[in-house]
Chain A
Amino acid sequence: MATFSPTTEDVQIYEFCVLYPFPFGQKEENELLKGVEELFAEAGGKVLMKDPWGRRGLAYKIGGFTEGNYIVYYVELDPSKLKEIDRQMRILKGVLRHMMVKPPKNYQYLSYAEQFIKWQEDSKKDVERKELEREDKLKKQVVDKAKRVKTPAPKEPEVAKPMSGEAITKELEKIISDDLNI
């Protein structure tokens, strides 16, 4: 894992992905890679990282080939030289496809193998996180259910006790006297 930053203001870091066919002679392959690296050298570029992916199946036939080799270069280049490199790459014999991309700032430059390991770890973490979330949800459900069961039934409104005979007569007298006053 590495992060690169351009050494001067005039240069930028670019990612070049080159695809060449799989049943390809060793000699031709060496020539092709040499040719690509020469292009960078001619443009005054500096290869920071080289990441050969090796043999891979293609999603669709390109130039009659169903398998290809990928190679990714990270190069520090003057942006004005890009057009010329692109033109030369189109002419270069054996190149099926090529692409130039400018990675964003703080991009982590990983090789194919490292990227795969990182993806595996990330997906593992994702699974663990989902499992934890599911457990939390279940626990919450159980607690909620327990709360629902424990809650006591609502109290009945209190009914006043019946008064004794004397108390009733006293109250009645009070009320009657009040009425007379009005």
Chain B
Amino acid sequence: MPPSYRNQKQAQRSDPRLKKCPFCFKDTAYMDYKDYGTLKPLIDYFGNIRNRYYTGVCLKHQKMLKNAVERARFMGMLAYRK
């Protein structure tokens, strides 16, 4: 029996649980609120922090990220809500 369209789609998409933390790869010890380049991909269109299920960031680095984003928001570098 040929695989259904839904099964094909599922096979193409990688499992989000298999993603690895990009910050653990670089041994990040501190996330800078001034570093827009690293923060930007982890924030969605509306200015919310992306769920770590989708980005693969570990809990330790997600907490650092939250800190950095909140600081950047306060200084007007990132939006609270678009």
Contacts and interface: CB of A to CB of B under 8 A. Distances in A.
Interface stretch (A24-32, A39-47, A101-109): A101-109
Contacts of A119: 35, 37-38
Nearest to B36: A119
19 contacts: A17-B75, A58-B76, A59-B47, A59-B77, A59-B80, A60-B76, A60-B80, A72-B34, A97-B75, A97-B76, A99-B74, A99-B75, A101-B33, A101-B71, A107-B30, A116-B37, A119-B37, A122-B37, A123-B37
B79 interface: yes
Closest 10 CB pairs of A and B: A59-B79, A119-B37, A58-B76, A104-B30, A62-B76, A59-B78, A59-B76, A60-B79, A97-B75, A99-B75
Contact of B30 (A17, A59, A72, A103): A103
A99 B77 CA distance: 13
Contact of A99 (B37, B47, B71, B79): B71
B29 A115 contact: no
B29 A104 contact: yes
Per DSSP, are chain B's interface residues mostly helix, strand or loop, or mixed?
Answer: loop
Interface in A80-133: 96-97, 99, 101, 103-104, 106-107, 112, 115-116, 119, 122-123
A72 B71 CA distance: 14
B34 A115 contact: yes
Contacts of A97: 74-76
Given A96-B76, A119-B38, 12 more contacts: A17-B75, A58-B76, A59-B47, A59-B73, A59-B78, A68-B76, A97-B74, A101-B33, A101-B71, A104-B30, A106-B29, A119-B37
Bin chain B's interface residue count: 10 to 19
A93 to B, nearest CB: 19
Interface in B60-82: 71, 73-80
